[in-house]
Amino acid sequence: MRRLVVLLVFLLVGSGCAVINHPTVTATSYVVQGVRFYFSTFVPSEIVVVSTGTGETREKAIDNALLAAVQEALGVLVVSEVMIRDDQVLKNIAILYSDGVVNSYKVGQCKGDSRQSCEITAVVSATRLQKKFSSSGAVAEVDGKDMYGQYITSKNAIFQRKRLAEYYLSNIRKNGLDLKIESIKVLPTTANTVPIEVNYTVKWNPEFKKNAISFFKNLQKETGGKFEYYSYKRKESDYQFMLTHGERGTFIQNDWIYINTFDKSFYDMMNLYVHADIKVWITPFRTCDTYQPQRLSGIFAMSEDESKRKIVVYEYPEVLKNIDKVSLSLGCWK
């Protein structure tokens, strides 16, 4: 689904002199309403987005969710130096170019009476978006034609890799994990508050993890990341991030992915998301269960044992009379 071409080709040496070759054109940027969108061979042909829309009817809510999905996909393709602070700009662009760019979608939960709210999982085609920009007459610029173009290509490539990596990583704790309550037990007590044991599991959404791992493996190829037996061979400026997706953080070579970020903020961002806590909110007990699986290896190496959680919450007896449902959700709030 994703084809990769090395973005930068720089130097040939011959007859005692260095000759700079112009690289093969590998990227095109389009300026639409003042916003620069970047399409390199690294961009996935499809971007999976989970979005929510509201409307007076179920159909209208789904239409708005589809529009929001296209807007979010557009957001990860932006490489404008000035960040888009006004969502209305991207929304306007999404309205103009959304027709026919969603390859497929699945409707999740819809709720509400007088006004509906629906969640969908949509597959947005980045390839079709590029074709629409091209056919619409949007301002197009080919990167990489000269030395300055090579610099812009390199800069935009790093920026876009970071944007796409952050998209996948930031969604792990929103849409990438599945929660399931296994059992709820009221424990014996004579105290004024009742202990309640909640057993649940936190597991990867298989499709999400498959897509994420595929993306990061492509990122390894794109950036030339690889295992170096002697660590001193690795250049410090590469800012290589090592990610394992083996269930127990194994040292099996095929379980590891090596990504050269070439940027400290990129490296720090990946480190933050991969090792951040998992937070699960338990309703109606107003309790947040927070833990960090695989402290050394990170969330991609979460094991079967770590997916099983047990937490004891306390509630007043009179409150229990009104509780007929317990639910879990990712993320916590007060």
- SS3 of the chain: CCCCCCCCCCEEEECCEEEECCCCCCEEEEEECCEEEEEECCCCCEEEEEEEEEECCHHHHHHHHHHHHHHHHHHCCECCCCCCCCHHHHHHHHHHHCCCCEEEEEEEEEECCCCEEEEEEEEEEHHHHHHHHHHHCCEEEEECCCHHHHHHHHHHHHHHHHHHHHHHHHHHHHHCEEEEEEEEEECCCCCCCEEEEEEEEEEECHHHHHHHHHHHHHHHHHHCCCCCCCHHHCCHHHCEEEEECCCCCCCCHHHEEEEECCCHHHHHHHHHHHHCCEEEEEECCCEEEEECCCCCCCHHHCCCCCCEEEEEEEECHHHHCCCCCCEEEEECCC
Distances (CA, A) of 102 to 34, 68, 208, 287: 24, 11, 18, 38
Give the predicted TM-score (pTM) of the model.
0.73
CB 245 within 8 A of CB 204: no
Residue extents of the structural domains in the chain:
11-147+155-164, 177-330
- Residue 127, C-beta contacts closer than 8 angstroms, at least 6 positions apart: 45, 46
User: At 192, phi and psi to the nearest 5?
Assistant: -80, -15
For residue 9, what are its two tokens?
Answer: 């080709």
CA distance 59 to 56: 8
**Distance of CA 316 to CAs 67, 194, 313, 320, Å?**
45, 6, 11, 7
* CB-CB contact of 291 with 202 (8 Å): no
Joined together, the tokens standing for residue 193 give: 């508050």
pLDDT at site 284: 93
Q: What is the pLDDT of residue 14?
A: 34
- What are phi and psi for residue 53, nearest 5 degrees? -135, 155
**Lookup: tokens for 298:** 């990170």
Residue type, 209: K
Give the integer Cα–Cα distance in Å for 67 and 102.
9
What is the structure's pLDDT at 182? 95
The per-residue pLDDT for range 52-106, each reduced to its tens digit, is 999 999 999 999 999 999 999 998 888 865 555 667 888 899 999 999 999 999 9
- Whose tokens are 């796409």? That residue is 164
Q: What are phi and psi of 258, to 5 degrees?
A: -115, 120
Distance in Å from the first CA to the final CA of the chain: 41
Per-residue pLDDT at 311: 94
| Residue type (1 letter), 50 | V
| pLDDT at position 250 | 53
* Residue type, position 159, single letter: F
**Around Cβ 135, how many Cβ atoms within 10 Å?**
8
The token duo for 122 is 């949509």
Mean pLDDT by 10 residues, the chain (334 residues): 30 33 58 85 82 93 95 86 67 91 91 89 92 86 66 78 90 88 93 94 85 86 81 76 72 78 92 92 92 78 82 92 89 74
The pLDDT of residue 62 is 95
